[in-house]
Amino acid sequence: MEKFFETILWRSRLVMLLAVLVALIAAVLVILGNFVDLAHLGSLFGQYLTNEHDVTTRQAMMLAVIELLDGFLMAGVLLIFSFGLYELFISSIEPADKSQQKGKILNIKNIDVLKNKLGKVILMMLIIKVFSFTIQLKISNALELLMLAAAVALIALALFLTKNGHGEINTLNSHEKDHKKDRGKYYEKAD
């Protein structure tokens, strides 16, 4: 009875295939939606050329570009999420194991690594959203300017903390490490 229950419990992890498929389908839909945004950007560019470089059309073009970036990052989040769930719950992805790109995308050994990768991409999406809000912002007094500066400082702090966070794996390749060693030797000789 115990062996039967453990077998069923172990196989129940396959239900995560539904989450993987939903995330993949959502990523494809987001990318297809970006083609609609790209067509909108093209029409705005046509208006910009015919309206003798209208400032409001230019601002709308910048917002459309930001929305495109946001959409591609969202698709990336969904893909990383689906790859990570598959690797964590189902099986290792064999074609990815043979690929040189695996270390850049799919080096997901546990849930903390997946959370870290997703957190960084989501932080970039939030930065893009804040950027789009600042484009639309009409600053009318010193307090609003101060609040904008505080928001930029907090974003810079968030980026700094994610780059230098505790427990982050050192991703320098051997060439970069050798270059740093050589630079250190150069400065020692200069002293």
Digit-by-digit pLDDT tens for the chain (191 residues) are 888 888 888 888 888 899 999 999 999 999 999 998 899 888 888 888 887 777 788 888 888 888 888 888 889 889 888 988 888 888 887 777 777 766 666 677 778 878 887 888 888 888 888 877 777 777 788 888 888 888 888 888 887 887 755 444 444 444 445 545 555 554 455 44
User: Which residue type does 77 have?
Assistant: V
88-109 residues labelled b (16+ CB within 10 A) or e (exposed): beeeeeeebeeeeebeeebebe
Nearest to 117 by CA among 78, 155, 156: 78
